[in-house]
A and B are shown apart, each in its own frame.
Chain A
Amino acid sequence: MIRYQARHNTVYDYGDPVTLSHHLAHLKPRDSARQRLLKHELRVVPEPSTWNERTDGFGNPIVQFAMEEPHQRLIVESVIEIEIKAAKPPADEDCPAWDLLRARLDEAAPDTLSIHTFRQDSTLVEAAAEFADYAAPDFTPGRPIVAAVRALTSRIHEEFAFDPQATTVTTPPSEVLEVKRGVCQDFAHLMIACLRSVGLPARYVSGYLRTTPPPGRPRLVGADQSHAWVAVWIGGDRWLEFDPTNDCIPSLDHITVAHGRDYDDVAPLRGIIVGGGPHRLQVGVDVVPVKNEAAPKV
């Protein structure tokens, strides 16, 4: 178990005054079997005129706020303290075969109800034959799900180059598959597309990485920024996470903020503004371990 403090700062500088803005923030981490939120502060400048906290359709905490006074700079600062437990991935042989799981979903057994959400198409990820073809070599009949997905994760990591210049926030997974380049969001979307195209449910997980690795271990790709990875249904109510960008199973270094069907469901900060002109955006994420005794009591 490890305790972190994380800061996620967002600053928008607008060329012209923004006269009205509405925002939706996915910045408060959700609790899970692997993590417990101890403290969360969200500071917004200028002072919002409305502030609503609720949960979205996936159980993620959200804040919806609006500013009605003209402003040229928006600062959103999220500070969290959180406790993370190590992942305990089951052994391959303890997992059902991937095709067995798919068949269970086809029957629409009542205990799989909430699972279906992540098997169908979503805004940014739609199943297609090309993804099924790409995934096919790893999904041989009867193979345990964890083994199959781990193989897919490694293959994406090997065959795709990390390249922030190659894609934009709207690049569809089909294009990523073609150019074999992209960033964590692209790899997560691609992997979700592959999994759904072979009939398996997959979630998009957004979160943070530990900034400085423990001594003797390499720094992970994706620190200093929001990160994204994938969770796969492995039967019952269990999901297992995979990070195709770093070819690993997220554990003590990964902090989950939210999960949804794709990026569009859990974008950290969405906004609709009136006015503003051209804008400049700065984002910074900083994740450091804190000593247990230093943490305030909750």
Chain B
Amino acid sequence: MAAPDLPDTMARVSLAIEPQGPEDGAQIPLPLPGGAAAGEPQAVGRYLPQPGVFDECVDADAHLRPHWRELFENLSAFGPGEFGERTERARQLLHDNGVTYNVYGDPRNAARAIELDLVPLVISEAEWAEVEAGLIQRARLMNSLLADLYGEQRSLKDGVLHPGVVEGNPDYLRALRGFRAPGDIWLHVYAVDLVRGPDGRWLVVGDRTRTPAGPGYALENRIITSRSLAEAYRAIKVKRLAAWFDRLRQTLRALAPWTRYPRIVLLTPGPYNETYFEHAYLARYLGYTLVEGNDLTVRGDRVFLKTLGGLEPVDVILRRVDDDFCDPLELRGDSPFGVAGLVQAVLAGHVVVANALGSGLAETPAIIPYLPALSRHLLGEELALPNLDTVWAGEAQGRARLTATGGNYALRPAFPRIGVPAPGDGEAWGRHLDYRPYDAVGQAPVRLSTAPCFTPEGVRPRPVVLRAFLTATEKGFSVMPGGLVRIAPTTDRPILHLQQSGLSKDAWVLSSGPVEQFSLLRPPDTAVEVRRQGNNLPSRVADDLYWVGRYAERAEFGVRALRAVIQRLTDGGGPQGNVEIGPGVAFLASIGEITPELAELATTDREAFDAELLPMLIDEFRAGGFASAVRRLNMNTGMVRDRLSVDMTRVLLHLHGQIEEVGKATPGDYVGLLDCFDSIVASMAALSGLGMENMTRGQAWRFMDLGRRIERAVCAISLTRDLIIGGEDGENRALDLALEVADSFMTYRARYFTGAQFAPVLDLLLLDEANPRSLARQMWALADHVENLPRERGAFGSGAARLLAQTALAELRAAEIQRLAGAGADGRNSELEALLEAVSVTLPELSDIISQTYFSHALAVRPGGPIRTVSTP
């Protein structure tokens, strides 16, 4: 019973209804390969919507809905297995782009990859127009409600809204009472979670007014889906998303009419936030500086960004920090994410925060039951988009209704609060409701609609929830055509938080008119001014990059040292190999790679040494070891993710796996261990290569390289002390080892054609500025960096740093190798020791001056200790 309106391609796979077991219903093979060979009927995915559930692509009579036809016509051209391959490639692309969603409660706080289903949810133009109108009305309603609640409170005075919904809401910021949002815009971004019930109507299950998450994920989904299904995306007229983001940009720009070029920043709680990926992604896409609370400071009721060049005024803050966390002075005192004095700056009108501070108030589902009445009251209109039936237990009537449903309604927290039972935990809620009924909201059960999703078994119907996004514009609210579609684990409960499902897909809204070809990356009309200098680097970012440089170098040095010493434990250590074992393990202990106790064991009890070595090497919480350096490297790169290339992120991901390999080596199998070290050294080299060759020589690069040079200089000094001087009378000298750790063996060979000797090795590793690993080379580079640091910051710091670097360099240049190598009557190389001492004192001083001069603005802010109300008898 093929439907007459089916395209030819559908006929090929014979649309049919076959009775099928207990889940009897429409079984429609869709033309998407399920993994088996082509041509066989079984190879075609069996699409079997559940009875009593609305399916997005197939109607109750098992006919493909007309607006899906074009998509399937295009997809049916795929060969067998091709869809699976494309899905795999898309997944890889997401992984490589680092698209993640941090899951709270994960012991390692690991970021979980967002997974993408490539089959888009297709929505017809006519249907979308209706949803769009409803969404716009709802946005107007929420916006007016916020203006009312922070202003006149007509809705409360006239008894339309229960005061408990407002007064008991932690997002109600009393400090903002009487505040009028600039342009009366409270919601610059607003999101609505929609589901479709069995009768085909879209229902609202929740609102996001605080800091709506998801537009960035929606965009990323669109970019990858349109690339993976390029033929279909080109052939089908799908409404584009870019224009929506441009409207958001225009709205934010217009918020600061006092300046032609407003500085707009995106305020994030930091890399441990669940949606940090999106913050970095949106900041990059919209062209805003990504900042944390400590990057900003309030001076004289104005907000400034702390940059290397000094304080720069900030006009607009697009925030991803929750309302009550935005100002530790006036709001939550324990917030580490906010900016002290921000409320005052907002009240003074010198900065605009989007969404407006306090707008989280409208996010509570406890408000939903009142929306129809509020719509009549505030807008004089009937609410167009229906709500999923929602009841608030804070009101006697609501409690009675909840009781009447006999536990049928799913309970969820009304307000973001600690100590509230989890959604759906009926037993815990039962007790909780007795004394804190206002914490609970009940929602009617609904069977979610299903849409086709690609699974290993073929294309299958899966329940979906759509998050739609709006932005305010001069002409009212504008809806993103499409949104983020989440795939729910079960059909009977809508998912409300991103944590609940990592699987999402794109939504394609069809268009009959021409499609806007617009890209934010290349705006059509505005000419970009040619610039050589990027925007001024925030101090915190410079700080983080400096430590990226230091830890990368520290890790590389450590693993090179380990490799060279372990090499000597095997028989392949060369003629000097055995002699160098003692100094080598002592050196490892001296630089902290292993403990002194373990170093002792290397020469006395090799078996015990082998047993303890591996766990010690991979212990990332043991200070000094390379694993700990890599952990800190990862932490620091995590905080400047928007500044590092995708390639660097990949190397770091890879490095993580390589360290795990070290832990899996067999104790005593030095050859296997050396293989691991070889690959880690290669990764570290790739990282430094990417830094040298692929980063523009701007401030970001300079601070990263500064860190690397300082650390390498520190390492060169300990190498010289431990392995080249090697104690009194050079009894622990290990020159070959020193050359190997400093990667200078080849140069030495080519230059001297002899075994390693004291003076030439000293010259190569200490004084030779042509050797990229020598101490003199590091001091030369440091002097150059310091010379080129930003000067606006007051001459003192940069002047002192210049003096230090230049003096150390001059001392190295003035040194004569014969005098340095010559031992005094006491057998000590006192001149050499004095030189090393002079330079080694300079390095921490230099590091401190740089920190104080350039990073000091990023000093942690802490509460000044509230006065306790205490009294004595």
Contact = CB atoms under 8 A, between A and B. Distances in A.
B535 interface: no
A20 interface: yes
A154 interface: no
Interface in A197-231: 197, 206, 209, 221-228
A108 interface: yes
Contacts of B867: 10, 226, 267-269, 281, 283
Interface stretch (A30-38, A83-91, A115-123): A115-123
Interface stretch (B296-304, B510-518, B526-534, B770-778): B296-304
A68 B330 CA distance: 18
A162 B162 CA distance: 40
Taking chain A's interface residues, is the majority helix, strand, or loop, or is none over half, making it mixed?
Answer: mixed
A54 B344 CA distance: 10
Contacts of B873: 162, 221
Contact of A64 (B159, B341, B395, B864): B341
A96 interface: no
B299 A274 contact: no
A264 B334 CA distance: 11
Contacts of B333: 264, 270
A52 B330 CA distance: 13
A77 to B, nearest CB: 14
Contacts of A120: 164, 167-168, 438
Contacts of A15: none
Contacts of A184: 869-871
A12 B865 CA distance: 10
15 contacts: A20-B299, A22-B341, A50-B300, A64-B329, A64-B344, A113-B157, A116-B163, A121-B170, A121-B436, A226-B869, A245-B871, A271-B329, A272-B341, A275-B859, A279-B864
A106 interface: yes
**Residue from A106, A128, A263 with most neighbouring chain B CB atoms (10 Å):** A106
Interface in A30-71: 49-50, 52, 54, 56-58, 64, 66, 68
A256 interface: no
Interface residues of A, number: 70
B338 to A, nearest CB: 9
Contacts of B864: 12, 18, 21, 23, 270-273, 276, 279
B869 A272 contact: no
Contacts of A270: 329, 333, 863-864, 866
A57 B866 contact: no
A274 B296 CA distance: 12
A253 interface: no
A116 B168 CA distance: 8
Top 9 closest A-B pairs, CB basis? A57-B174, A271-B864, A120-B168, A222-B871, A272-B340, A116-B163, A225-B871, A116-B167, A169-B868
Contacts of B156: 110, 113
Contacts of A66: 298-300, 341
A10 B330 CA distance: 20
Given A120-B438, A227-B869, A272 B299 contact: no
B158 A126 contact: no
A68 B299 contact: yes
Contacts of B158: 110
A55 B352 CA distance: 21
Contacts of A56: 174-175
B650 interface: no
Given A57-B177, A110-B159, A113-B163, A272 B871 contact: no
B872 A127 contact: no
B396 interface: yes
Contacts of A142: none
Contacts of A110: 156-159
Given A116-B164, A264-B333, A279-B864, A164 B435 contact: no
B869 A127 contact: no
B869 A228 contact: yes
A145 interface: no
B810 interface: no
Contacts of A6: none
Given A52-B344, A272-B862, A185 B435 contact: no
A21 B677 CA distance: 49
Contact of B863 (A112, A132, A271): A271
A191 to B, nearest CB: 14
B871 A223 contact: yes
**Residue from A110, A127, A209, A272 with most neighbouring chain B CB atoms (10 Å):** A272
A127 B333 CA distance: 21
A221 B871 contact: yes
B417 interface: yes
Given A121-B168, A272-B340, A108 B159 contact: yes
Nearest to B299: A68
A179 interface: no
**Residue from B156, B173, B341 with most neighbouring chain A CB atoms (10 Å):** B341
Nearest to A20: B297
B157 A206 contact: no
Interface in B838-872: 856, 859, 861-872
B301 A52 contact: yes
A274 B164 CA distance: 38
**Residue from B173, B340, B856 with most neighbouring chain A CB atoms (10 Å):** B340
Interface in B155-210: 156-159, 162-164, 166-168, 170, 173-177
Interface of B: 153, 156-159, 162-164, 166-168, 170, 173-177, 297-301, 328-330, 332-333, 340-341, 344, 347-348, 395-396, 417, 419, 431, 434-436, 438, 856, 859, 861-873
Contacts of A169: 866, 868-869
Contacts of A49: 299-300
B302 to A, nearest CB: 10
Contacts of A271: 329, 863-866
A19 B341 CA distance: 15
A107 interface: yes
Interface string A218-251: 0001111111100000000000000001000000
Contacts of B298: 22, 66
**Residue from B170, B298, B869, B872 with most neighbouring chain A CB atoms (10 Å):** B869
B870 A225 contact: yes
B851 to A, nearest CB: 14
B869 A225 contact: yes
Contact of A197 (B163, B332, B435, B438): B435
A64 B166 CA distance: 26
Given A52-B301, A225-B872, A108 B163 contact: yes
Contacts of B435: 127-129, 132, 197
A74 to B, nearest CB: 8
A223 B347 CA distance: 37
A19 B436 CA distance: 45
A224 B871 contact: yes
A169 to B, nearest CB: 4
Contacts of B163: 108, 112-113, 116
B871 A24 contact: no
B174 A107 contact: no
A21 B873 CA distance: 33
B868 A185 contact: yes
Interface in A83-109: 106-108
A262 to B, nearest CB: 11
A227 B859 contact: no
A119 B341 CA distance: 29
B159 A119 contact: no
A18 B859 CA distance: 11
A108 B162 contact: yes
A117 B165 CA distance: 10
A68 B660 CA distance: 49
B429 to A, nearest CB: 14
A127 B417 CA distance: 12
A106 B395 contact: yes
Nearest to A66: B341
Contacts of B166: 116
Given A183-B869, A223-B871, A57 B396 contact: no
